[in-house]
Structure 1
Amino acid sequence: MATPIDAPAREEVVDKRNDTTAHIATEEGASEDSATEMNVDEKTATREAHPTKGDEDADGIKAEPTAQVLHHAPTTPGVDENNIVFWDGDDDPHNPYNWKRWVKVFNCVLISALTFVTPLASSMFAPGVPSLMREFKSDSKELASFCVSVYILGFAAGPMLFAPLSELYGRTRIYHVCNIGFIAFLIGCALAPTLNALIVFRFFSGVFGSCPVTNGGGSISDMITQQKRGAAMAGFSIGPLLGPIIGPVIGGIVADKLSWRWVFWILVIISGVISSLFFLLSRETYAPVLLQRKTDRLIKETGNINLRSKLDAGLTPRALFTRAILRPFKLLAFSPICAICNIFVGIAYGYLYIMFTSITPLFEQQYGFNSIHAGLAFLGLGVGSMIGVGYFSTESDRYMKKKAKEAGELAADEEEMARRPSVSAIKPEYRLPPLRAGAILLPVGLFIYGWTAQYKVHWIVPIIGTAIMGIGNLIIFMSLQLYLVDTFTIYAASALAANSVVRSLLGAVLPLAGGPMYEKLGLGWGNSLLAFIAVALIPVPWLFMRYGEYLRKRFAIENL
Structure 2
Amino acid sequence: MVFARGDVSGHDDQTLEHQVSARNITVVSWDNDDDPDNPYNWSLSQKWTLTALAAFTTFITMMNGTIITVAHEAINQEFNISDASFPHSYWPVTSWAVGGGCFSLLILPLMEDFGVRWVFLSTYLCFICFVIPQALAQNFATLVVTRFFAGGCVAILANTSATVIGNVWDSEKARNVPVSLYIVTYLAGSSIGPVIGAPIYQYLSWRWIGYLQLIWYGALLPVYFFLFKECRGIAILAQRAKALRKEGKLAYTQHEIDMEGTSMMRIVARSATRPIVLFFTESVVFVSTLWSAFTVGTLYLFTQSVEQVFAGLYGWTPAQAGYVQKTILQLGVSKHGSPRTPIPEARLYLAIVGGMIGISGGMFTYAWTSYPNLPWIAPAVGLAMVGAGSVIVVTGISDYVVDAYSKYAASAIGIIAAGENTFSAFLPLAAMSMYSTLGYNWASTLLAFISLALSLAPILFVVWGKEIRARSPFMKEAMLEKRRKSIDSV
Residues 294, 379 of structure 1: alpha-carbon distance in 2 compared, 3 angstrom cutoff: same
| Structure showing the higher helix proportion among its residues | 2
Kindly, what percent of the aligned residue pairs are identical?
Answer: 27
Residues 186, 107 of structure 1: alpha-carbon distance in 2 compared, 3 angstrom cutoff: same
- Please state whether the residue corresponding to 2:231 is helix, strand or coil: coil
Residue 283 of structure 1 corresponds to 229
Q: Is the 8 A contact 1:221 1:485 kept in 2?
A: no
Q: Could you tell me how far apart the structure 2 residues matched to 1:550 and 1:88 are?
A: 41
CA displacement at 1:91 relative to structure 2: 1.5
Residue 9 of structure 1 corresponds to none
State yes or no: 1:511 paired with 2:466. Answer: no
CA displacement at 1:534 relative to structure 2: 1.4
- Please state whether the residue corresponding to 1:283 is helix, strand or coil: coil
Aligned pair count? Answer: 466
CA displacement at 1:501 relative to structure 2: 0.9
The 5-angstrom pairing of residues 347-358 of structure 1 reads 347-358=294-305
CA displacement at 1:445 relative to structure 2: 0.6
State yes or no: 1:104 paired with 2:104. Answer: no
Q: Could you tell me how far apart the structure 2 residues matched to 1:172 and 1:553 are?
A: 37
Give unpaired runs (5+ residues) of structure 1: 1-35, 45-71, 404-425
Paired letter, 2:107: F
CA displacement at 1:457 relative to structure 2: 2.3
Match of 1:345 among 273, 292, 296: 292
Match of 1:263 among 202, 209, 228: 209
Paired letter, 1:379: K
**RMSD in angstroms over aligned alpha carbons?**
2.8
CA displacement at 1:446 relative to structure 2: 0.6
Residue 482 of structure 2 corresponds to none
Residue 374 of structure 1 corresponds to 321
User: Once superposed, which parts of structure 1, at least 4 consecutive aligned residues long, lie more than 6 Å away?
Assistant: 36-39, 41-44, 72-75
The 5-angstrom pairing of residues 503-542 of structure 1 reads 503-542=420-459
Q: Is the 8 A contact 2:95 2:147 kept in 1?
A: yes
Q: Is the 8 A contact 2:117 2:228 kept in 1?
A: yes
Residue 60 of structure 1 corresponds to none
Match of 2:33 among 65, 90, 111: 90
Residue 217 of structure 1 corresponds to 162
The 5-angstrom pairing of residues 351-500 of structure 1 reads 351-389=298-336, 392=337, 396=338, 399-400=339-340, 403=341, 426-440=342-356, 441-454=358-371, 456-500=373-417
CA displacement at 1:299 relative to structure 2: 4.7
Match of 1:234 among 160, 163, 180: 180
Residues 332, 172 of structure 1: alpha-carbon distance in 2 compared, 3 angstrom cutoff: farther
CA displacement at 1:181 relative to structure 2: 1.0
Match of 1:201 among 136, 146, 160: 146
Residue 473 of structure 2 corresponds to 556
Deviates more, 1:123-132 or 1:360-369: 360-369
Residue 175 of structure 1 corresponds to 120
Residues 311, 220 of structure 1: alpha-carbon distance in 2 compared, 3 angstrom cutoff: farther
Q: Could you tell me how far apart the structure 2 residues matched to 1:282 and 1:229 are?
A: 19
Residues 462, 314 of structure 1: alpha-carbon distance in 2 compared, 3 angstrom cutoff: same
CA displacement at 1:473 relative to structure 2: 0.7
CA displacement at 1:97 relative to structure 2: 1.1
Q: Could you tell me how far apart the structure 2 residues matched to 1:505 and 1:236 are?
A: 20
Paired letter, 1:267: Q
Q: Could you tell me how far apart the structure 1 residues matched to 2:400 and 2:203 are?
A: 43
Q: Could you tell me how far apart the structure 2 residues matched to 1:486 and 1:340 are?
A: 16
Paired letter, 1:158: F
Q: Is the 8 A contact 1:117 1:267 kept in 2?
A: no
Paired letter, 2:287: I
Q: Whose Rg is larger?
A: 1
Q: Is the 8 A contact 1:388 1:470 kept in 2?
A: no
CA displacement at 1:490 relative to structure 2: 4.9
Q: Could you tell me how far apart the structure 1 residues matched to 2:79 and 2:382 are?
A: 37
TM-score (norm 1): 0.77
Deviates more, 1:369-378 or 1:505-514: 369-378
